[in-house]
Chain A
Amino acid sequence: MTVTDISRRKKFFAQGNAYVPHIVVIEKIIEETPDTRTFHFSFKDEKLRKDFIFESGQFAEYSVFGVGEAPFTISSSPTRRSHLECTIKRVGRVTNALHRLGVGAEIGFRGPYGNGFPLDYLQGKNLVFIAGGIGMAPLRSLIWSVIDNRDSYQKIDIIYGARSPADLCFRYDLDLWGRDKTINLVTTVDKGDEGWSGREGFVPQVVEQVAPSASDAVAIVGGPPVMIRLTFPVLKNLGFAPEQMLTTLEKRIKCGIGKCGRCNIGNIYVCRDGPVFSYAQIKQFISSEY
Chain B
Amino acid sequence: MADKKINKRDIAKLPNEWCREFSVLVPSRESGTVAMTRWDGKDIGFLDWYRNTVVPPRDSFLPLIEEMFSFYKDKDGYNIELPPPKEQKQLIFGIRPCDARALAILDMTFNDGYQDPYYLGRRQNTVLVGIGCTKAYDSCFCTSLGNSPTDTTGVDLMLTDIGEDFLVEAITDAGKELLTTSSLSKATEADQARAKVSEETARQKVTRNIDIRDIAQKLRASFEDQDFWQKVAAKCISCGICTLLCPTCYCFDINDEMSKAQGVRCRSLDSCSFPIYTRMPMENPRTEKWRRVRNKVCHKYEFYPMLFDAIACTGCGRCIRLCPVNWDIIQIIESVPTGA
Binding site for B on A (CB under 8 A): 1-3, 9, 11-14, 16-21, 23, 25, 44, 63, 65-69, 91-92, 95, 106, 108, 224-225, 250-252, 254-255, 257-262, 264-267, 272, 286-290
Closest residue of B by beta carbon distance from A10: B113
- CB neighbours of B306 from chain A (8 A): 1-3, 267
Binding site for A on B (CB under 8 A): 68-69, 71, 73, 77-78, 80, 82, 109-110, 112-114, 116-118, 220, 223-224, 250-256, 258, 263, 265, 267, 270, 272, 277-283, 285-286, 291, 295, 298-299, 302-303, 306-307
B277 touches A44 (CB 8 A): no
Given contacts A252-B279, A289-B291, contact A17 B117 (CB under 8 A): yes
Considering the chains assembled together, what is the distance between the CA atoms of A13 and B111 in angstroms? Answer: 11
Closest residue of A by beta carbon distance from B280: A252
Pairs across A and B, CB under 8 Å, 30 listed: A14-B114, A17-B69, A19-B68, A19-B69, A19-B265, A20-B82, A63-B265, A65-B71, A91-B282, A106-B78, A224-B282, A252-B277, A252-B278, A254-B254, A255-B252, A258-B109, A258-B113, A259-B109, A259-B250, A260-B251, A260-B254, A260-B270, A261-B250, A262-B277, A262-B278, A266-B303, A267-B302, A267-B307, A286-B220, A286-B303
- CB neighbours of A267 from chain B (8 A): 302-303, 306-307
- CB neighbours of B78 from chain A (8 A): 23, 65, 106, 108
A43 to chain B, nearest CB (A): 12
The 10 closest A-B pairs by CB, nearest first: A91-B281, A261-B251, A267-B303, A289-B285, A267-B306, A66-B258, A12-B114, A66-B263, A92-B281, A257-B114
Considering the chains assembled together, what is the distance between the CA atoms of A195 and B132 in angstroms? Answer: 78
A271 to chain B, nearest CB (A): 11
- CB neighbours of B285 from chain A (8 A): 251, 265, 289-290
B129 to chain A, nearest CB (A): 28
Q: Which of A1, A13, A260 is within 8 Å of B252, CB to CB?
A: A260
Considering the chains assembled together, what is the distance between the CA atoms of A16 and B114 in angstroms? Answer: 10
B113 touches A11 (CB 8 A): yes
Considering the chains assembled together, what is the distance between the CA atoms of A95 and B280 in angstroms? Answer: 12
- CB neighbours of B112 from chain A (8 A): 258
Q: Which of B114, B253, B279 is within 8 Å of A18, CB to CB?
A: B114
A103 to chain B, nearest CB (A): 14
A247 to chain B, nearest CB (A): 15
B256 touches A65 (CB 8 A): yes
Considering the chains assembled together, what is the distance between the CA atoms of A23 and B303 in angstroms? Answer: 36
- CB neighbours of B224 from chain A (8 A): 288
Closest residue of B by beta carbon distance from A92: B281
Closest residue of A by beta carbon distance from B116: A259
